[in-house]
Amino acid sequence: MARYVSFRDFDWLLLGFVLLICGIGVTEIYSATLHTKFAGAHIKQIYWILGGVVLMFAVSLINYQAMLEQVHWMYIASIASLMLVLVFGQKYLGARRWVKIGGNHFQPSEWVKLILVLAVARYFADMRQKELSWSDFIKAGMIVGVPMLMVLAQPDLGTCLTYLPIAVMGLFLGEVRLKQALTVLLLVGLMLPLGWHVLKPYQRERLTSFMNPDADKQGSGYQVIQSQIAVGSGGIWGKGTAKGTQTHLAYLPVPQTDFIFAAFSEEHGFVGALGVLLLYFIVLMRLTQNAQTAPDRAGTFVVMGVVAVLSFHILVNVGMVVGFMPVTGIPLPLMSYGGSSVVFMFLALGIVMNIRMRRFVN
Amino acid sequence: MLGRDEKVSPVRLTGVQYIILGIFLLLAYGLWRLQVMQQDFYASQAEKNRIRNVPILAPRGKILDREGRTIVDNYPSFTALLLRDQGRDLNADAVPIAQGLHTTSEEIRSRVRHFASMPQYQPIFLKEDITPDELAFIEAHRNELPELDTIMAYRRLYPRKGFMAHLIGYVGEVTEDMLNQPQFEFYNPGDVVGVSGVEKQYNQMLMGKNGSRRSVVTSRGKEVQQLDSTPAVPGEQLKLTVDVDLQIAAEQALADKNGAIVAMDPRKGEILAMVSRPTFDPNNFAVRISRDEWNKLVSDENHPLLNKAIQAQLAPGSVFKIIMATAGLEEGIAQDMKVNCAGGASFYGRYFKCWVTSEHRVHGVTNISKAIYQSCDVFFYTLAEKLGIGRIAKYATALGLGQKTGIDLPQEVAGVMPSEEWKIRNFKQKWYAGETISVGIGQGAVAVTPIQLARAIGGVASGGVLQRPHVAFPGDFPGNVLPAADMPDEVRVPIDPANWQIITDAMANVVNPIGTAPSAHLEGIDFAGKTGSAQTISNLAKARLANGKTKFKDNGWFVGVEPRRNPEIVVCALLEEGEHGYLAARVASQVIKAYVEKQNRRPSKMASRKPEKVEIRGVWNGRADADQSETLHAGRLVVDVPKKPWPLAARAPRVN
């Protein structure tokens, strides 16, 4: 195999759109944290983005195929890191999610996501049959299921759920049969009542308040209602940068992280929010195109894994902001403030670039 | 077998793209629904969040006496508020809050439930008029209990120890029943309104109008910007016809005996003093009264909440003889009537005693004058027989008995003046002639209020001119306040000057040694009046029920005027179970004496001059010390009052 790789083949267009979204995110973080104790968070976010871009270039240089060869080690390492969090993690708001390294807090569950994308890709790429067997189904399920259970134990239902689309995407592209899919859906449906008992009380509360936000206006329903008020009151054109009353009078909870899209929608209205959605859509379509042109089956699976994670985040976060989804604490990738999320996105993009740069290598 | 480099199915990849498109269309619809379709709703929700209306409470108008001295004032008082938009668990916090505010957590929870339907940004009034240590508790727990806040409001400061309590009345929070009535349509829950006395009667004038301040608040309730404010319009002050000096004299004269005193200027109908006993402290009502205290007040058999001056309906006893005399003289019957009182007489086959037999005396030959000042029952039995119930009722009704006087106080009662029609209407029975005899001495079914009696006797002494009594000056009312009940301001009952002279001269003799109340005599004062002792229960029933105990003593009445003709003042004193009219006469004489002494101190020129406004802080009793005397503050006057016994008029031998 020829090994000629050039940055000429780098997806500059994709990077441009991604950085545009990041820029919008930074301005909104600036606006939302103005005059609060989080003021200046946008500067930190810029550092994270710059760091992310550097990491992205670095990762794009390492051959993804070499990475895939070593993915079982990475998988073992990620399981170990999740174990580490469960044992030594910093407890914050009742959940162990962060480990402290140096002065910074890291959430290992974020980059475990990336390794899962690689592991699932490797598994399906190595598959030899045309049709997915039940044993493949279960094995693929186990790869994602084990870390899911570990994250659920933190407890972090939101992040746990973000692993699910990786498996779903893998199975879908790995030619899962309709009968298999329906059987599993049925089983999950039967298991749901059991799952209800596993959920922590605050998680149940979030779900019930999502179903009926008016039942507890001061409690969990508060966030759902305030978010909808923020979005709705933005109207068509929005209230203007730093003029959102819901955001600036602190009615909207955490407007720089989970509810950044609500803050943006309040200040920039339907037109602005639709514009941002369009940018995300372009990015996703561009990624899918890259998946199609990937040099091999594994590359396609990796890129589509990233597409699955990104789409799921957008669906759950924006869905929550507009009141379609319960409050899960899932950030909006590229826009929400937070290092782990930014670094994950750029690492994932680095691998995508990596695959794209090798599209003619075969 | 698949090759390692076999491509992924393009159909499935395209499928993924369509799924993503579907997701984005769904999200776009979500945005459209909120931002375009329901934009106005959410915009108003955001405004409601952001803008808080804080009421600025209007202070109630002061209540002044006729000389402009403050009787009821306001004082700054702090109310504990519960903010519900702090995102706190109020159910759990109710426990520490209840501890700090000395109430129960159940009480707090029930208030939270009560106000559940009100918008969240409106705070709940938790406890009013909190003590300094409760205020300190709130200030010290600003961080732990951010939902607690305070608001300063002006509160009613009433004279202490129930001074003038019945006349003034008290205020309370508007009830839900009241809010459902049309006249309260502009009131809001939590508004303070008058619930009795002058406070109720002139509520509209006294209440003022609350203002409001609109400000931008954060989700933590912190004000970040003031938008605008409507200032509160304070209530108008109300000047009463009451003279505080005379009120003090009347309060002291009645001391702690059960009963009532009404002092009125019969020329204009101005009430100069009004006392009812037992009394209550309206300061307990200015703040929310506790249920126990309230129950104690309403279940007290002496009815402390009842204003006996206008609400006690009792037999007038011998005071009624003035009305009988008026009727008898005007009908031309009594002038030359001479009755020999042998301690009693028989009418319609029944023997009626004269009170004089209890002293083992007889009145002997009695004319109308002697019959009045000696209160001869036999004379009036005979007169009643001659007049008949029809003519008695005619004069009594003309003089205002059996109907409301129309005084500008709530809950006045009408009393009863029996007649043939009255009996048929109420009992579907014929009037028995024998009943007329009892009515002749103010017994039987006759029931009057002290205010009616004061107006009637004052009217007779004024030559038959009766004024509608009132506690506020009608000229002071703003246009939208109706002064009082629908009653004529002036009633004229024609009384022949000769008859007028006979009656008033006889009344003057009542407080002379030949009269029934010589001990009430006031030297150098043209004091006249009529005593009355009315049975509260028939003698037979008394013997049966009381077993000789003193429970059912007679009520003592006295209505006095000064001077005897065209009086400046009429005083009606009622002593419940006071047994004898002469005791009531002594009480009334105290008030008359205080009135005359005040007039003497003040030259007539001064009296006509417009009184200067004296800025004082109200009238209330000083702290009751353990020692024998207590200090009574009235304006700048400080009077040392010996606690007991209050010296009545010179104690003369009991003649009756």
Candidates A125, A235, A273; nearest CB to B4:
A125
Domain range for B436 is 244-642
Is B3's pLDDT higher than 80?
A: no
**Residue B237, φ and ψ in degrees, nearest 5:** -80, 150
B217 CB within 8 Å of a chain A CB: yes
Q: Report which of B620, B633, B612 is spatially closest to residue B73, judged by C-alpha positions.
A: B620
| Residues in CB range of B218: below 8 A, 6 or more apart | A249, A250, A251, B224
The answer to whether the CB atoms of A297 and B38 lie below 8 A apart is no
The answer to whether the CB atoms of B9 and A311 lie below 8 A apart is no
Candidates A246, A270, A324; nearest CB to B35:
A270
pLDDT of residue B572: 95
Would you say residue B120 lies in a domain? Answer: yes
- B 6-45 residues with CB < 8 A to A: 6-10, 12-13, 15-17, 19-21, 23-24, 26-28, 30-36, 38-39, 41-43, 45
Would you say residue B540 lies in a domain? Answer: yes
Is B243's pLDDT higher than 90?
A: yes
Q: Which long-range contacts (CB under 8 A, 24 or more apart) does A145-149 make?
A: A146/A79, A147/A78, A147/A79, A147/A82, A147/A109, A147/A112, A147/A116
Exposed (0-12), middle (13-18) or buried (19+): which is B467, by Cβ within 10 Å? buried
| Set of chain B residues whose Cβ sits within 8 Å of the Cβ of A265 | 31, 35
Q: Do B473 and B265 meet the contact criterion of CB atoms below 8 Å apart? A: no
The answer to whether the CB atoms of A301 and B16 lie below 8 A apart is no
d(CA B77, CA B128): 8
Is B645's pLDDT higher than 70?
A: no
The answer to whether the CB atoms of B39 and A233 lie below 8 A apart is yes
Q: Looking at residue B233, which CATH number applies to its domain?
A: 3.90.1310.10
Q: Residues B468, B493: one domain?
A: yes
Is A338's pLDDT higher than 60?
A: yes
| Set of chain A residues whose Cβ sits within 8 Å of the Cβ of B217 | 249
Is B614's pLDDT higher than 50?
A: no
Q: Which long-range contacts (CB under 8 A, 24 or more apart) does A1-5 make?
A: A1/A361, A1/A362, A2/A361, A3/A361, A4/A361, A5/A61, A5/A357, A5/A358, A5/A361
- Can you read off the two tokens belonging to residue B347? 């009418």
Q: Residues B115, B129: one domain?
A: yes
B116 CB within 8 Å of a chain A CB: no
Query: What are the pLDDT digits (tens) for B351-370?
Result: 988 888 888 888 889 999 99
Query: What are the pLDDT digits (tens) for A6-44?
Result: 777 788 999 999 999 999 999 999 998 887 778 888 999
A309 to chain B, minimum CA–CA distance in Å?
12
d(CA A316, CA A113): 16
The answer to whether the CB atoms of A281 and B21 lie below 8 A apart is yes
pLDDT of residue A296: 87
Instruction: For chain B, report the end-to-end CA distance as a whole number of angstroms.
Output: 135
Would you say residue B37 lies in a domain? Answer: no
B631 CB within 8 Å of a chain A CB: no
| Set of chain B residues whose Cβ sits within 8 Å of the Cβ of A210 | none
Q: Residues B152, B300: one domain?
A: no
| Set of chain A residues whose Cβ sits within 8 Å of the Cβ of B122 | none
Phi-psi map region of A343: left, alpha, beta (phi>0 left; psi -120 to 50 alpha):
alpha
Binning pLDDT at 50, 70 and 90, where does residue A94 land? low
Least confident among B132-146, B215-229, B635-649: B635-649
Q: Looking at residue B380, which CATH number applies to its domain?
A: 3.40.710.10
Binning pLDDT at 50, 70 and 90, where does residue B291 land? low
Query: At A306, which helix (H) or strand (E)?
Result: helix A297-321
* B324 vs B112 pLDDT, higher one: B324
Least confident among A342-346, B128-132, B203-207: B128-132
B229 to chain A, minimum CA–CA distance in Å?
21
Q: Residues B232, B252: one domain?
A: no
Cis-peptide into B278, omega within 30 deg: yes
Least confident among A52-66, B214-228, B550-564: B214-228
Query: At B124, which helix (H) or strand (E)?
Result: strand B124-127
B119 CB within 8 Å of a chain A CB: no
- Is the pTM higher than 0.95? The answer reads no
Is A266's pLDDT higher than 50?
A: yes
The answer to whether the CB atoms of A304 and B2 lie below 8 A apart is no
- A 150-189 residues with CB < 8 A to B: 169, 172-173, 175
* Residue B506 C-beta-side C-alpha neighbours within 13 Å: 25
Residue at which a domain ends, from B218, B238, B258: B238
Is B144's pLDDT higher than 50?
A: yes
B218 CB within 8 Å of a chain A CB: yes
Q: Residues B231, B289: one domain?
A: no
Q: Residues B520, B391: one domain?
A: yes
Q: Residues B110, B251: one domain?
A: no
Is A268's pLDDT higher than 80?
A: yes
Least confident among A30-34, A105-109, A334-338, B166-170: A105-109
| Set of chain A residues whose Cβ sits within 8 Å of the Cβ of B115 | none
pLDDT of residue B498: 92
Would you say residue B132 lies in a domain? Answer: yes
Q: Do B309 and B451 meet the contact criterion of CB atoms below 8 Å apart? A: yes
Q: Report which of B544, B542, B579, B541 is spatially closest to residue B558, judged by C-alpha positions.
A: B579
Q: Where are the alpha helices (DSSP H) in A126-248?
A: 134-152, 157-173, 178-198, 201-211, 220-234, 245-248
pLDDT of residue B629: 38
A238 to chain B, minimum CA–CA distance in Å?
9
**What's the mean pLDDT when you consider all of chain B?**
81
Interface test with chain B among A69, A251, A261, by most B beta carbons within 10 Å:
A251
Query: What is the pLDDT averaged over residues B400-429?
Result: 89
Binning pLDDT at 50, 70 and 90, where does residue B537 land? low
pLDDT of residue A291: 92
Domain count for chain B: 2
Total CB pairs under 8 A between chain A and B: 151
Query: What are the pLDDT digits (tens) for A144-161?
Result: 999 998 888 877 777 888
| Set of chain B residues whose Cβ sits within 8 Å of the Cβ of A254 | none
* Closest chain A residue by Cα to residue B219: A251
Query: At B251, which helix (H) or strand (E)?
Result: helix B244-254
Residue with tokens 């899918």, as numbered in its chain: A288
pLDDT of residue B142: 79
| Set of chain B residues whose Cβ sits within 8 Å of the Cβ of A277 | 24, 27-28, 31
Residue at which a domain ends, from B238, B253, B274: B238
pLDDT of residue A285: 95
Least confident among A127-141, A233-247, B415-429, B459-473: A127-141
DSSP one-letter code for B525: S
d(CA B446, CA B439): 7
Would you say residue B502 lies in a domain? Answer: yes
A309 CB within 8 Å of a chain B CB: no
Interface test with chain A among B16, B34, B88, B224, by most A beta carbons within 10 Å:
B34
Q: Residues B277, B300: one domain?
A: yes
Q: Residues B214, B102: one domain?
A: yes
Q: Do B91 and A218 meet the contact criterion of CB atoms below 8 Å apart? A: no
Would you say residue B541 lies in a domain? Answer: yes
Q: Residues B231, B281: one domain?
A: no
* Closest chain A residue by Cα to residue B47: A245
Q: Residues B219, B330: one domain?
A: no
pLDDT of residue A92: 62
B19 to chain A, minimum CA–CA distance in Å?
10
The answer to whether the CB atoms of B31 and A273 lie below 8 A apart is yes
pLDDT of residue B610: 53
Is A281's pLDDT higher than 90?
A: yes
pLDDT of residue B639: 35
A267 to chain B, minimum CA–CA distance in Å?
11
A81 to chain B, minimum CA–CA distance in Å?
31
* B373 vs B204 pLDDT, higher one: B373
The answer to whether the CB atoms of B16 and A169 lie below 8 A apart is yes
Least confident among B14-18, B98-102, B280-284, B295-299: B295-299
pLDDT of residue B486: 62
Would you say residue B383 lies in a domain? Answer: yes
Would you say residue B593 lies in a domain? Answer: yes
d(CA B353, CA B380): 12
Interface test with chain A among B5, B42, B51, by most A beta carbons within 10 Å:
B42
Distances (CA, A) of B525 to B243, B248, B597, B647: 20, 20, 10, 19
Q: Residues B219, B251: one domain?
A: no
* Closest chain A residue by Cα to residue B30: A322
> What SS3 state is found at A362?
coil
Domain boundaries, chain A: 7-357
Candidates B10, B20, B36; nearest CB to A284:
B20
| Set of chain A residues whose Cβ sits within 8 Å of the Cβ of B30 | 318-319, 322-324
3-state SS, one letter per residue, for B430-485: CCCHHHHHHHCCCCCCCEECHHHHHHHHHHHHCCCEEECCECECHHHCCCCCCCCC
pLDDT of residue B5: 54
B230 to chain A, minimum CA–CA distance in Å?
24
Query: What is the pLDDT averaged over residues B253-270?
Result: 91
Candidates B2, B16, B36; nearest CB to A236:
B36
pLDDT of residue A176: 83
Task: Identify residue B594 by its one-letter amino acid code.
Answer: A
pLDDT of residue A54: 95
